[in-house]
Structure 1
């Protein structure tokens, strides 16, 4: 019965997060289909913009990821005043970054598109759309911090409700503003961009209402707190480490895509189809990874390190069960899935071969993501930071370039490099998780207090 209760608690955290991430992915696919009716130029602009925004997100992702695990520890430790202080610091940093992104949106879109290799006429057409995407992201930066706080206190349903509502509205507004339906102006591609501005602002407004409204009665979130220098330093250091980790992954995939782009149109098309289908598999992995961060962090906060280790391993087990089911579906239905994207037999068969390769490594991919979430919950971000740099810059990126440009192994070689990366991440994270001296684990709060008072006791940096 104890295991059943544990699994129920894990699923309560994971399933809403899976729904949130899945709705975002599905919405992106639907909006691309809607915009695709404008022609190849619109698809190209949206595609390049998506790559840019993904890397921009990775650049700042460490801010909300640090808030997520730190607040989860504070919640378990019942030191939510400190959790509010850390969130307040993150919001101030995020607000400054948002202003910078907003101002940059008026000067940089055209130059950025040209730098990405887009022709000048296409860049002129796409600049207003990319400007709207940057403006929308200025709200996303703040919303992500609020979401991280909500998940840190175990509330994964509220971000789900807000995301589902805004994503449905995004589809409606994209259709209406792009083509002039529902009495809305016909703005074309720019309309699709401004649809994101509207929905991201509404998501931000809803998050503000929850944080400063409903949460105030329980967590006193409206109280302005003096921001200690040690806490500011902690947030900045953790943000940099986690952002570099995410950016290393995104840049690695950028090099991977660039190497495949040189292999011809069929290779590009098959690769995009395979990655698009495989992106659905990231949703359960990310959901369980988020659950692992929150559950492990809260148990560390409660002073129960062995319980933290146990809940992380059970989250891994549940995540692997979901990923195994997805892998089987990938193998069985790869060909019908590819025919949704293309009627070209050559491209479809090439994509199927890639999907079959990927189906074998889904367990490693999902396991690595869940274990990474567990290590964030512990606060072992330095290991994640170092391994991301080593595996991406010393293994994945050089291997991808060598097998595609020197050995001429083509697309199979590039995917071999990707598989090697995913297996390497999973093995490294599992080794680290099992080798941690769990009995010595304490929260970051205790570590900061010990440094401030110069007490050389155990902390969660001694793993």
Structure 2
């Protein structure tokens, strides 16, 4: 069937009525029940009557819970940075920031656990193949446990290499390694939560990830307050206390996610796990994960290079960079709420071969993302320096943040479109192109810009961030070209 042959009026509600493999009682967007005739079936209906209003409602019922969950994801790092920023030494904030970026390298490096699970489950769910959905989850959980254990075993080597590459003063490195040595024990918990989130998103369940994230952040805030400053009878552990708070928070998040899985997906446990290592399905998972890993490594190369360049500029630029990075993350995670909706809805549509519906969903979500990017760009143009004062009272750090105002503000609309294009291609399982596009952006846009602006012209902190803006321009140009070609509609696997 060629793209566009699918009748646009055939929504998932009708598909579920005819396909008994999709169980009743599985929570969908906004917690509604995805079964024929139930109120929640309207969430994934692509009927043409009232199309504009209905499509917006469909997107928002997934995007809003995802947005809330995504915006709160960086709160762990934000709370750590803000509370550590109240300690007397500026080096403490740089230490936590450096260690946090190292964890970003590790966790984003295995972000394929979440993205790959969503990409495959979304299409299997759209096709009505419940058995393939649950087997994908089992495979991803096994891989998460294996990778988490490897991180714990290799923690000393990872810390030594990571902090050596990141640079920084001896005090920054000493306290950063203490933080890392504690928080690394949460790795298996975090990676299993990645797999659960990927499964929930693939089945158009936006509330599961929200529950996990809320639990994680509530526990982290309380534990940070207690363990950093010694409140409520706890010892005052400072930087190490922030690390222990992260471990406790990760455990709480996984516990809540497991409870959601058992309660809302209990019918899935009736499926046989026979064929868990079937060659064709393992091949899909392997290829998807390897290509997503390559894409992520290229992105992390650029991000870690940014940190390394800034680390060598001194403690004040490093502290300013830590705060700006957290502010930047709020936008990326906020727009990711719509990107995750794109992954689920586009993947579901392609799973049932509704190519016209996938195109309409993608275009509408891009429209929402552009508006959000303009909003955040305006906020940062007006208030980036005041936001910096919330994090730290050190005026020299705030001044460095203010110098980046326009470099951060002007690129936000472009960033928002890039994040949603990522989501569209993940839902379509067009991950091979995502890898190639990211590699081109990192090595043909970011690296030349960094060499010229930072090392050639001595642009300092501003030059480093302008080079990172060049990376985002490269990503937009390559992804937009693919989207306009519609070749991404031909890469489905379900």
Deviation readout 1:208-251 (Å, 9 max, x if unpaired):
2322443022x336642322112212212211211221221122
Does the 8 A contact of 1:334 with 1:356 survive in 2?
no
Q: 1:5 aligns to what?
A: 54
> 2:460 and 2:165 mapped to 1: Cα distance?
26
Deviation readout 1:116-171 (Å, 9 max, x if unpaired):
44677765655443122111122101111011100110111121122112211111
Q: 1:26 aligns with which of 62, 67, 75?
A: 75
Aligned residues: 443
> 1:141 and 1:38 mapped to 2: Cα distance?
31
- 1:55-70 to 2 correspondence within 5 Å? 55-70=105-120
The offset of 1:54, in angstroms, is: 0.5
Q: 1:148 aligns to what?
A: 198
The offset of 1:184, in angstroms, is: 3.1
The offset of 1:173, in angstroms, is: 1.4
> 1:338 and 1:430 mapped to 2: Cα distance?
33
**Bigger shift: residues 293-302 or 95-104:** 95-104
> 1:122 and 1:168 mapped to 2: Cα distance?
28
In the superposition, relative to structure 1, how do residues 335 and 385 fare at CA in structure 2: closer, same or farther (>3 Å)? Answer: same
Q: 1:453 aligns to what?
A: none
Does the 8 A contact of 1:300 with 1:442 survive in 2?
no
Deviation readout 1:65-103 (Å, 9 max, x if unpaired):
110111111111101211211221111111111221232
> 2:393 and 2:213 mapped to 1: Cα distance?
33
- Segments of structure 1 that go 5 or more residues without pairing to the other structure are 446-463
In the superposition, relative to structure 1, how do residues 343 and 207 fare at CA in structure 2: closer, same or farther (>3 Å)? Answer: closer
**Bigger shift: residues 278-287 or 97-106:** 97-106
**Bigger shift: residues 98-107 or 86-95:** 98-107
> 2:337 and 2:324 mapped to 1: Cα distance?
21
Determine if the alignment matches structure 1 residue 444 to structure 2 residue 460.
Answer: no
Deviation readout 1:271-321 (Å, 9 max, x if unpaired):
444433333221322111111111110100121011101101100101111
Q: 1:421 aligns to what?
A: 471
Does the 8 A contact of 2:215 with 2:256 survive in 1?
no
Alignment root-mean-square deviation, CA: 2.6
Does the 8 A contact of 1:284 with 1:319 survive in 2?
no
Q: 2:348 aligns to what?
A: 298
> 2:237 and 2:382 mapped to 1: Cα distance?
42
In the superposition, relative to structure 1, how do residues 14 and 401 fare at CA in structure 2: closer, same or farther (>3 Å)? Answer: same
In the superposition, relative to structure 1, how do residues 316 and 194 fare at CA in structure 2: closer, same or farther (>3 Å)? Answer: same
Q: 2:184 aligns to what?
A: 134
In the superposition, relative to structure 1, how do residues 107 and 336 fare at CA in structure 2: closer, same or farther (>3 Å)? Answer: closer
SS at match of 2:443: helix
Q: 1:16 aligns with which of 65, 87, 100?
A: 65
The offset of 1:114, in angstroms, is: 5.3
Q: 1:43 aligns to what?
A: 93
- Segments of structure 2 that go 5 or more residues without pairing to the other structure are 1-49
> 2:324 and 2:251 mapped to 1: Cα distance?
32
Q: 1:390 aligns to what?
A: 440
> 1:42 and 1:264 mapped to 2: Cα distance?
14
TM-score, normalization: structure 1? 0.87
TM-score, normalization: structure 2? 0.82
